[in-house]
Amino acid sequence: MTLYEKLVKRLGGFFRRIYGLKVIGAENVPEEGAFILGCNHTALFDPIMLILSVPRTIHFMAKKESFKTPIIGKLMKKLGMIPVNRGTADLHAMKTTLGYLKEGGVVGIFPQGTRCPGVDPRTTTPKDGVAMLSYRTGCKVLPAFIKTKKNKLRPFSKTTVIIGKPLDPSELGLSGGTPSEYRTATGVIFDRICDLADLPVQTSGK
């Protein structure tokens, strides 16, 4: 059993109880093959919510500063998270990310680039990383939304992870990999992510 699997097994019950975690749309997760997971971002524990909701190992991109914290940083490295030097063209992070995808893995990205607690995600401006990776690798994008009260993750409050159907690169209009195409595709991807928040959540969870 890998460290990743141990984490899910040992912490799963705790986080599901504390955060009232329910999952809708787990059947939309591809059982094999590479894809990019895109989701809204409100809290530090968002990656944990997604780890417990998606039955695949996810390599999340995270800001480099987070890895400097002694205990958390070490855990992040062992979980295969990818340190990113924000605000620069981090070629090492890009190479690592492309490597995971080319090997059939899953990469998780929060298009907003940073946590936005208490803010309607539709009012934020997503970055183009997901669209660029989809173009560079030909990978599908799996949209997900972490739905919480007032867009804040709180203990002992309901948390619902909603997973949509994968978006094929052909749906994104990425033919030439130009900046304008990336911006348009990013809008399509983030709209699909945010639209998940409007789905009914009464469906039985995972």
Show the domains of the chain with their CATH numbers.
3-198 (3.40.1130.10)
pTM higher than the cut 0.85: yes
pLDDT of amino acid 87:
66
Q: In what order do the strands lie in the sheet with 21-24?
A: 21-24, 159-163, 140-148, 35-39, 106-109, 58-63, 82-84
pLDDT of amino acid 1:
60
Question: pLDDT tens track of the chain, all 206 residues?
Answer: 667 777 777 878 889 999 999 999 999 999 999 999 999 999 989 988 999 999 999 999 888 888 888 877 877 877 788 988 876 667 888 999 999 999 999 999 999 999 999 999 999 999 999 999 999 999 999 999 999 999 999 999 999 999 999 999 989 998 888 999 999 999 999 999 999 999 876 544 44
pLDDT of amino acid 168:
93
Beta-carbon neighbour count of residue 18 at 10 Å?
A: 15
pLDDT of amino acid 83:
87
- Strand 140-148 and strand 82-84: the pairing is unpaired
pLDDT of amino acid 3:
72
Which has the closest alpha carbon to 38: 103, 129, 118, 151?
A: 129
d(CA 55, CA 66): 25
Beta-carbon neighbour count of residue 179 at 10 Å?
A: 9
Beta-carbon neighbour count of residue 206 at 10 Å?
A: 14
pLDDT of amino acid 203:
42
pLDDT of amino acid 139:
97
